Amino acid sequence: MVTRPAVPAVSPAPDIQMDSASERIARQFAFLIECDRLKDIFRQTLNTGSLRNENDAEHSWALCLFAMTLAEHSNVPIDLPRVLKMLLIHDIVEIDAGDTFAYDTARMADQHEREARAADRIFGLLPADQAASFRALWDEFEAKETAEARFATTVDRLQPMLLNCLTEGVSWRRNGVTHTQVLARNAPVADGSATLWSHICGIVEEAVRAGHLPA
Amino acid sequence: MVTRPAVPAVSPAPDIQMDSASERIARQFAFLIECDRLKDIFRQTLNTGSLRNENDAEHSWALCLFAMTLAEHSNVPIDLPRVLKMLLIHDIVEIDAGDTFAYDTARMADQHEREARAADRIFGLLPADQAASFRALWDEFEAKETAEARFATTVDRLQPMLLNCLTEGVSWRRNGVTHTQVLARNAPVADGSATLWSHICGIVEEAVRAGHLPA
């Protein structure tokens, strides 16, 4: 039986004087080890194969693949690498703050505050310059003002819609979500890509016709 | 009970004439839906939190985060976005070919052939131009000749070494792997980053001293 070490084995002992390169790597490894916990944060959406709940690490990978594959449908030209970096780190705050279900409006009230505290702690594990640049990416994603943040949001909403349609809307029905709510919640897909919004709306309509999502 | 549809719901019916934009999206969605299966391909390495086996989707996300965080330690300047794209798609072939354990030399003999067939089929789901560009990225990763492919390989070897050290070497010991084998198998880490190789070798030595990896 293996127990998770309380202190990561690669943290520098505080009494050891290290050169700055070693200290940078130690901080970077401490951050990466902490981020491994994202694999244990589960979402409401089901995966299509196993029909178990998707976790945030899988979700983050899937969003990057969606962005890489679908970037040509962005309403405006985007810097794809910036979108990918944003998506890689956008959910890391949920290690502390947990996943907030997209239709849980009560819990969404203090979501940003909880997540901002998590961002302080987790990005703060990195060397200061990287902590600042990763935090800036996360703030940009949250603000949804740049074309890159908008396209990142497009795939972040599109992918769960698609997974829900492919798993007979179980997660929607389990949570009493209606077609009207799905359209209202996910309308920001169109801010990044009118084409993808039109396409996914057609797929969602099929789910409604099939009885997988109440009108 | 939900059953996975035999044919993805968003595939175009063959008798429907579509405009080229819709057909592109339909092919892109068919590819993305197929790739969802990567979440069900499990590796030998354990995650640090749950101590369950890591899957390929989580692994691909983790490698991208490693690359983004550790790129400054590359031996030579690299195009990080190219590394990220390579890492996002490098394991997709395992949907058909399965995961080949890094120390299973018998099964490694025909690994590339099995994976190349998988690449033909899975990247072939995409529109032809994207199928070619994704396949070129995968071929580049496999050939390990460019600086970007070498750094992608560096993180692909480094991350499981680190996870193994953090989970008391269970996966190594379960498979009878020794310190000598770990060093021989993972020496390509140094081709991408001598600094990271030196750092991870120190962590592996701690694992040997702790009795988690036989000399």
- Cβ contact A160:A188 at 8 Å: no
Phi, psi of A178 (to 5 degrees): -105, 165
At B10 the pLDDT is 43
- CA-nearest residue to B168 within chain A is A2
Distance CA B11, CA B13 (A): 6
Distance CA A63, CA B94 (A): 19
Is the pLDDT confidence value at A183 over 90? yes
Q: What is the pLDDT of residues A113-170, one digit of tens each?
A: 999 999 999 999 999 999 999 999 999 999 999 999 999 999 999 999 999 999 999 9
Is A9–B203 a contact, with Cβ atoms under 8 angstroms apart?
Answer: yes
- Cβ contact B30:B11 at 8 Å: yes
pLDDT band at B100 (very low <50, low <70, confident <90, very high): confident
Q: Please report residues of A whose CB lies closer than 8 A to that of B65.
A: 32, 35, 88-89
Is A88–B68 a contact, with Cβ atoms under 8 angstroms apart?
Answer: yes
Identify the CA nearest to B172 among candidates B66, B94, B101.
B101
Answer whether A36 touches B (CB < 8 Å).
yes
Q: Which of A22, A49, A69 sits opposite B4 (nearest CB)?
A: A49
Answer whether A199 touches B (CB < 8 Å).
yes
Answer whether B166 touches A (CB < 8 Å).
yes
A214: exposed, middle or buried (Cβ count in 10 Å: 0-12, 13-18, 19+): middle
pLDDT band at A18 (very low <50, low <70, confident <90, very high): low
Identify the CA nearest to A213 among candidates B6, B108, B9, B58.
B9
Decide which of B2 and B196 is more confident: B196
Q: Which of A88, A130, A170 sits opposite B64 (nearest CB)?
A: A88
Q: Which of A58, A69, A81 sits opposite B57 (nearest CB)?
A: A58
Is B206–A50 a contact, with Cβ atoms under 8 angstroms apart?
Answer: no
Is B84–A89 a contact, with Cβ atoms under 8 angstroms apart?
Answer: no
Q: Which of B5, B35, B126 sits opposite A166 (nearest CB)?
A: B5
pLDDT band at B103 (very low <50, low <70, confident <90, very high): confident
- CA-nearest residue to B95 within chain A is A49
**A with B: how many residue pairs have Cβ under 8 Å apart?**
167
Is B69–A126 a contact, with Cβ atoms under 8 angstroms apart?
Answer: yes
Is B61–A64 a contact, with Cβ atoms under 8 angstroms apart?
Answer: yes
- Complex ipTM, two decimals? 0.91
Is the pLDDT confidence value at B18 over 60? no
Answer whether A93 touches B (CB < 8 Å).
no
Is the pLDDT confidence value at B20 over 90? no
